[in-house]
A and B are shown apart, each in its own frame.
Chain A
Amino acid sequence: MILAGCAAAGSAVGEEPSLRAFTGARILPVEGEPIEQGILVVEGAKIAAVGRMGEVPVPEGAEVIGVEGKVVLPGLVCTHSHIGEVAGADGSAPIQPEVRVFDSINVRDPGFRKAQAGGITTANLMSGSGHLLSGQTVYLKLRDGNRIEDLFIRNADGRLAGGVKMANGTNSRRDPPFPGTRAKSAALVRQQFVRAREYRDKTAAAGGDVTKLPARDLGLEALADVLEGRRVVHHHTHRHDDILTVLRLKEEFGFRVVLHHVSEAWKVAEEIAAADAPCSIILLDSPGGKQEAVDIAWKNGAVLEQAGVLTGFHTDDPINDSRWFLRSAAFAVRAGMSREGALAGLTLAGAKMLELEDRTGSLVPGKDADFIILSGDPFSVYTRVEETWVEGRRVFDLSDPEDEKWAFGGFGAGHPGEMEHCCFER
């Protein structure tokens, strides 16, 4: 079903996806070399072919959409977003893995429309950083939908795709029962993972015998998923020592982790590389706003890239508005990151961090037809996202006045409530 505002004449939204060939654009597939005068063939929800015009034929019966002079990119992947009024744990405890953030999301929040306007096709929606563990995150395709279920991604095993949100440093330090120091923070987390390990082992030992199974505990169950590698930990962390603390816990408990924000990554890039921990970074218009972020640097992208770390970007919307996600990567380029690395950081690197690289993040036959059409160079201030396509359906079209409102703003395009300090700074 479709939300109002996206069903204009000519829009593909709501129609059955069919066979289309987008011809003449410069295609940046991210996997593979840039293609001048390219052709992108979309069949249903999938990419059927990508290549040079003349080399890749236009299939018979395909609707040909001329996009000469445009630039086509994979749909952007935001690994850390707070759109949709997403919320997780409450103020009762610092560790609440039983909380599923998707039970809070408002799919009619303007943030979804604006994220589509910014070219984002996949997002990891997370709760805030005011807890050591604030809930189970959810990976979404930004389809148009009436219910959160319409946006879910299911893994091959049928499970909903998502991770777990954790945080250390100052945001999660509060009055008891929250921790008051960094050491206490780590101790609380370790204790909980020790319990989860015991729960997992008891469950395994029961061998399916209901009489031997431990009483079901939603929180420990989620943490067991983390221990078993079925959920990635998305870990908010800023300062160099806090980054290393995350890596220490990762080592002890063997969970998989993506480091988020990582303000002082440039100080410990070698350690991050040695731990094989991907980094999802943010670029801010100025440092500070909190003590932990005083040393944040635009060069993080370049330094991590050179250290061989899988590096991506996030908006942390509302910290950075989803409509200017491309700008974050452009600033990383400004501070020395390669253009190729920055483009991958917006797309394939993020898909890998969400373990969705088999279906999105690059323009490769067989992957989901998640792509965006730009008016020009992805790193230029003058470039506009003109169209956003998710799984073969157009979800944003700048030439549609309703969609333009989400892109540019105007009466009724915003959030009537004040911004919650949920995220980068609590």
Chain B
Amino acid sequence: MKKLLWTMAGLLAAGVGVRSEAALGERPARVVIRADAVYTGTGEMLQDGMVVIEEGKIVRVGRAAEVGDVEGAEVLRAAVATPGLIDAHTTVGLSGILNQAHDQEQLERSAPMQPELRAIDAYNGRDPLVEWVRKFGVTTVHTGHAPGALLSGQSMIIKSDRENISDGVLNPLAMVCGSLGEGALERGSGKSPGTRAKAVAMLRGELIRAREYEAKRAAAEAGTEDGEAKEDTGGRDLRLEALGAVLRREAPLLLTVQRHQDIAAALRVAEEFGVALVLDGCAEAYLLLEAIDASGFPVIVHPTLQRSHGESENLTVRMAAQLAEAGIPFAFQSGYEGYVPKTRVVLFEGGLAASYGIPFDAALEAMTLGAARLLGVADRVGSLEVGKDGDVALYDGDPFEYTTHCVGVVIEGRIYPGEQ
């Protein structure tokens, strides 16, 4: 593998930089990150802090003076270190950079509800947009099927340096994804769903079928244990099985909803079926803060830079600030883009949101530990704590500033360059 030596002119001027003799993606046995400011992701900032990673896991975090010299380590230096960023909802790896038919795997339009479509069967970790977001510090992505169908398919969680899904998948079935509202309707085409009410009726009907299916399967399995196999389930149904995972609350139902009536409908369905809901987008959430708060469900807030057109016309850049004030758990996302730019970058979305009224720590949390909790992977990622994966993003200044650079990325101890 090609040896790398990377520095940045601006960093040298500032006397701070990342420099590694390690090969791209190589994992030295021991990596030390030393930064003027280490944000651990747990609300703590260590001045002149150090993070020690061995065999991909964090083994030590503390002030450099306390940690002392670490022998035989690859040392990376930067002004700022944060936990590797987590994009709480994206479609990178499915919606390819070219935007040609052959590299667009995020939406299958032959039927309105296809929860059986697995993200792992579509993900292309070699698409340049995956590397693009990694260059800015994103180490974990929750990616999968896009908004645009009532139930478009499944999502998964993977590290951003994995070229295929044979390793690095944190959860192959993270959520079942769908949309309510205009984006998921077949207006005027004679196809269903053609109206909002029809869409909700179809979704409820499918969840009822899944519940019955699950009950039959459970009964059949119980029968098997009794030694009397009953084959009355009519065979396996992948679609209903996927919804079964939702009904058992093994996988949340992620519904992209922008208009207030669609947010309300999502809450209504979730309550009826007792599923774990993740509200996605939610451009008009400010009209329903009390109801959302009462539901206890989290929000993956639309990109701050999302365009205020169509169903999202009423969005506000203060959305995240309003959720924070209301005490509603939220995380940032890059979302899905059908055109140019083909993906957004969660660092920029959260950074801009921070400038509109969220404290730095809260904004950082919503793309690190908060996102990890929302995604159910906080045992592995999201903070710089002993025992967690060695995922770190390095910057030459305030990560949110327009003119700051990501100067390096570490994923499970493997070293990658930042933007160059």
Contacts and interface: CB of A to CB of B under 8 A. Distances in A.
Nearest to B100: A291
A319 to B, nearest CB: 6
B314 A334 contact: no
Given A334-B403, A414-B314, A425 B309 contact: no
Interface stretch (B117-125, B160-168, B334-342, B385-393): B334-342
Contacts of A424: 339-340
Interface stretch (A139-147, A225-233, A324-332): A324-332
B405 interface: yes
Given A291-B100, A324-B305, A421-B339, A379 B129 contact: no
A335 to B, nearest CB: 8
A418 interface: yes
Interface in B71-127: 96-100
B340 A289 contact: yes
Contact of B97 (A294, A412, A425): A294
B307 interface: yes
Contacts of A408: 316-318, 356
A414 B307 CA distance: 9
B12 interface: no
Contacts of B308: 110, 321, 409, 413-415
Interface stretch (B143-151, B208-216, B344-352): B344-352
A213 interface: no
B47 interface: no
A321 B305 contact: yes
Interface string A391-426: 000000000000000001111111111110100110
Interface string B386-420: 00000000000000111111000000000000000
Contact of A286 (B132, B287, B310, B405): B132
A294 B98 contact: yes
Contact of B402 (A321, A327, A412): A327
A285 interface: yes
- In the complex, which range does the number of interface residues on chain A fall in? 35 or more
B352 A381 contact: yes
Contacts of A409: 308, 314-318
Nearest to A324: B305
Contacts of A415: 308-310, 313
A379 B402 contact: yes
A333 interface: yes
A293 B317 contact: no
B313 A416 contact: yes
B315 to A, nearest CB: 5
B265 to A, nearest CB: 19
Contacts of B354: 381
B401 A381 contact: yes
A380 B403 CA distance: 7
Contacts of A336: 9
Contacts of A333: 402-403
Nearest to B312: A414
B355 interface: yes
B341 A291 contact: no
A379 B310 contact: no
B402 A334 contact: yes
Contacts of B351: 381
B355 A381 contact: yes
B343 interface: yes
A237 B348 CA distance: 27
Interface residues of B, number: 45
B317 A412 contact: no
B314 A413 contact: yes
A14 interface: no
Contact of A334 (B99, B287, B317, B405): B405
A219 interface: no
Contact of A331 (B97, B337, B402): B402
Contacts of A416: 310, 313
A287 B130 CA distance: 11
A321 B286 CA distance: 22
Contacts of A321: 305, 307-308
A284 interface: yes
Contacts of A327: 402
A288 B309 contact: no
A417 B286 CA distance: 21
B54 interface: no
Nearest to B318: A408
Contacts of B340: 284, 288-290, 293, 319, 424-425
A425 B100 CA distance: 12
Contacts of B316: 408-410, 413
Contacts of A324: 305, 352
Given A287-B128, A408-B318, A417 B310 contact: yes
Interface in A276-299: 284-291, 293-294
A418 B355 contact: no
**Residue among A294, A336, A409 with the highest chain B CB neighbour number at 10 A:** A409
Contacts of B309: 318, 414-415, 417-419
Contacts of B97: 286-289, 294
A290 B402 contact: no
A285 B314 contact: no
Contact of B128 (A288, A319, A381, A411): A288
A410 B129 contact: no
B284 interface: yes
Contacts of B342: 286-289
Contact of B341 (A285, A330, A334, A413): A285
Given A321-B305, A413-B308, A286 B99 contact: no
Contacts of A284: 340-341
Interface in A119-133: none
Contacts of B348: 285
A379 B307 CA distance: 21
Nearest to B405: A334
Contacts of B343: 285-286
B202 to A, nearest CB: 23
Given A291-B99, A421-B339, 11 more contacts: A286-B129, A287-B342, A288-B340, A288-B342, A289-B337, A290-B340, A381-B352, A381-B400, A411-B284, A411-B314, A414-B314
30 contacts: A285-B305, A286-B97, A287-B341, A288-B342, A289-B97, A289-B99, A289-B337, A289-B339, A289-B340, A294-B97, A319-B340, A321-B307, A321-B308, A331-B402, A334-B403, A379-B403, A380-B402, A381-B351, A382-B355, A382-B401, A410-B316, A411-B287, A413-B308, A414-B314, A417-B309, A417-B310, A418-B309, A419-B307, A425-B99, A425-B339
Interface of A: 110, 284-291, 293-294, 318-319, 321, 324, 327, 330-331, 333-334, 336, 379-382, 408-419, 421, 424-425
10 nearest interchain CB pairs? A414-B313, A288-B97, A414-B308, A330-B402, A289-B340, A409-B316, A289-B342, A419-B309, A418-B310, A285-B341
